[in-house]
Amino acid sequence: MTAETLATGVGQRARHRFGSVDPSLLVLAATSILLVLLIGLPVGWLAYYALTDRAGAATFGNFITLATDPAFTEPLATTLILCVSVAVAAATVASPIAWLIARTDLPARRTIRALMTASFVTPPFLGAIAWEILAAPNSGILNQLWRGLTSSPDPLLDIYSLPGLIFVIACYTTPYVFVLVANALDRIPADLEDAAGILGASRWRTTITVTIPLVVPAILAGALIAFLQAMTLFGSPAILALPAGFHTVTTKIYSFFHFPPKPQLAAAAALPLLVITIMLLVAQARVLGRRGYTVIGGKSGDPRRLALGRFRTPALILVLCVLSLPLMLPYAALLKASVSSFPGAPFTAEHLTWRHINFVFVEFSQTKKAFWNTLVLAVGTATLGTMLALVISYLTARRAVPGSRFLEFLATAPVAIPGIVLGVGLFLAYTRPPLALYGTLWILLLAFLTIELPVAFQQLRSSFHAVHPELEEASRILGAGRLKTLARITAPLLKSGVVAAWCFIFIGVVRELSAAIMLFTANTKVLSVVIYDLNESGDLGAIAVLGTVMLLITFAVVGFANWISGVGSGVRLRGG
C-alpha cells in the first residue's frame, strides 16, 4: 500500500465515519491551528529569548540588565509620557470634531469625514518626514515663514523634541478616535435625546447630559487605541526623537539589533510593551463591561442635528485648521519637496528641479522592486486576511462550532503585540529550520497577516451581526452546505464589510514599518523600509517623490476596490 492510497483510504473512512458532519469542524480546527502557530510561535520564541542568556541557560539577567540601565529606563519613561500625551491630545481634538460632524449642521460634513479617512491612509512615518520639512527648527518652511514675518531669531516650532513627536503622532492617531466617536454618535438612538427634550432639557443640555456620556466608552476606546499606537510606532520616533537625542522603547529595541546583535535584550525589552498592552485591554474590558451601554445599536429615527447658527462658519474653519495638520500642510510640503532643489528652498524657478523625480524613476534601482514587493504583499495579505477574518467571524458570529470564543480571542490577540515586538519574535522564530522563512516575502506576509487580522476581524464581525441568519438558514434548508452558503449567500450580503476589511488590510500593509524593518532582506524590501533608509541619509527629495506616488497608489487601489464592488463611498472606518 502506498502512502497515497493509504491517505485516500483514511480519508474515505473518515468521511464514512463522520457521515453528514459538515466540514466546518475541519475548518475550525485548521483555522485554530493556524492562528495558534501564527501568534504562539513568535511570542513563544520571544519569551524563550527573554529568559535565557547567550549560552541558552535560563536567567532573569536580561530583565535585571534593562531595569538597572538608565539607557533603557529613560526611554521607557519617555514612552509612557508620550503615550499618555498622545491619547489625551487625540481624544481632546477628535471628540468635538466627531460631535460637530455627527450631530450638528456643520457644512461639508461628508467631505470632512472623507478627509479624516484620508489622513488614516497616510503612513505615520511619512507624516513625520513631512513635518520635518515643515517644522525643522531652522530650515523648516513654517519656521522660515515665521522668521520672515516676525524677524524673530527663535523658531516657532521645533519638531525634533518630545512635544514635536507627541504632536506628529497625535496628528495621525486622531482619525482613529474620530471614527470611533463619530460612529458611536451615529448609532445613538434619537429616542433618548427626545426623552430628555420632552422632560424640558434644552438641546445643549441634552447634548451634555445625554449624548456625551453615551459616547464616553467610544472616547475611551479611541484614547486607548491612540495610546497603543503611540507606544508601538517605530518610524516617527526614529525620525524625530533620535536627532533630538532621546530614545523611545521601540527605537531602543531596534538598536539592540545593531552589531553585535543582542536578541535576548531585545526580547526582554519587548515584554513590557506586551504587558502594558494586555493590562490596558483588560482594563478597558472591565470599564466598559461594568457600564454596559447596550443602548447603542438600537434602530430608531435619525439623529437630531444641532443648529450651530452663527457658529457654523467659525466651526468649519476650526475643523479645517485641524485637518490641515495631518493632511493639507504635510501633503503640500511633500509635493513642494519633490520638485525643490532642497526642501526648504524658496519656491522660485531656479530652485525647481526634476532631479528627485528622475532619481526615483530612472536611477534608483530599488524603486521597481520595492513597489512590486509592497503591492504583492498588500494585495496578498489583504486577500488572505479577509478570507481568514471572514471564516473566523462567521464561526464566531454564528457560534457555528464549539470553541468559537477561543477563536475570537486568538483573532483579537495580535492587538496586544506591537509591530516591532512581533518583528523580533518572527525573526527569532523563522530564521531556523524547519521554517526558515527569513529572506522570503512569506515572513513579511505572516507578520502583516498577524498585525492586520484583528482590524479585519472586528470589521467583519460587526458586519455579520447586521445580516440576519434566516437567509443563511434558507440556503441550508435548500441543501447547500455551510461553506457553500457562506460563499454564495453570506459573503455577497457582506460585500461592503468585506471590501472595507480588504481596504483596511491593504492600507495597513502599505503603511507598516515597525515589523518590516526587522524582517526585510535585500530582495524583500518594501516601500516603507526604502523610505526609512533614504531618511537616514537625509534624501528628503527622493522620499517626497516616493511617498507621493505611494499615497496615490493607495488611494487608487482603495478607490478601485470600492468601485468594482459597487460599494461606492459606503466604506466607513470601523474601530479596531
CB of 519 to other proteins, least distance (A): 10
CB of 230 to other proteins, least distance (A): 19
346 binds other proteins, rule: CB under 8 A: no
User: Could you tell me if residue 539 is left (phi over 0), alpha (psi between -120 and 50 degrees) or otherwise beta?
Assistant: beta
Is there a contact between 225 and 180 (Cβ–Cβ < 8 Å)?
Answer: yes
Stretch that binds other proteins, among 359-367, 481-489, 491-499, 554-562 (CB under 8 A): 359-367
284 binds other proteins, rule: CB under 8 A: no
Residue from 5, 20, 348, 537 binding other proteins (CB under 8 A): 537
Residue from 29, 484, 536, 563 binding other proteins (CB under 8 A): 536
Stretch that binds other proteins, among 123-131, 240-248, 323-331, 565-573 (CB under 8 A): 240-248
Looking at residues 286 to 325 of the shown chain, list those that interact with other proteins (rule: CB under 8 A).
none
Q: Which residue has the cell 521607557?
A: 76
Helices 404-412 and 24-50: crossing angle, nearest 10°? 40
CB of 147 to other proteins, least distance (A): 11
Stretch that binds other proteins, among 43-51, 131-139, 295-303, 328-336 (CB under 8 A): 131-139
Residue 56: phi and psi, rounded to 5, are 95, 5
- At position 279, the amino acid (one-letter code) is M
Strand partners, 340: 352
CB of 420 to other proteins, least distance (A): 16
342 binds other proteins, rule: CB under 8 A: yes
Is there a contact between 46 and 428 (Cβ–Cβ < 8 Å)?
Answer: yes
Cα(227)–Cα(397) distance, rounded to whole angstroms? 29
Residue 214: phi and psi, rounded to 5, are -70, -25
25: exposed, middle or buried (Cβ count in 10 Å: 0-12, 13-18, 19+): middle
246 binds other proteins, rule: CB under 8 A: yes
Selection from 304, 382, 355 nearest residue 540 by Cα: 355
Helix (H) or strand (E) holding 103: helix 70-103
Residue from 209, 300, 523, 569 binding other proteins (CB under 8 A): 523
Q: Which residues does 499 contact at the CB level (< 8 Å), separation at least 6?
A: 561, 562, 565, 567, 571
254 binds other proteins, rule: CB under 8 A: no
CB of 352 to other proteins, least distance (A): 14
Residue 246 vs 311, nearer CB to other proteins: 246
Cα(447)–Cα(441) distance, rounded to whole angstroms? 10
Residue 61 vs 439, nearer CB to other proteins: 439
Cα(234)–Cα(124) distance, rounded to whole angstroms? 9
CB of 179 to other proteins, least distance (A): 35
Cα(548)–Cα(126) distance, rounded to whole angstroms? 9
521 binds other proteins, rule: CB under 8 A: yes
Residue 247 vs 574, nearer CB to other proteins: 247
502 binds other proteins, rule: CB under 8 A: no
**Interface positions with other proteins (CB under 8 A):** 71, 74, 136-139, 160, 241-247, 255, 257-261, 341-344, 359, 363-366, 431, 436, 438-439, 521-523, 533-534, 536-540
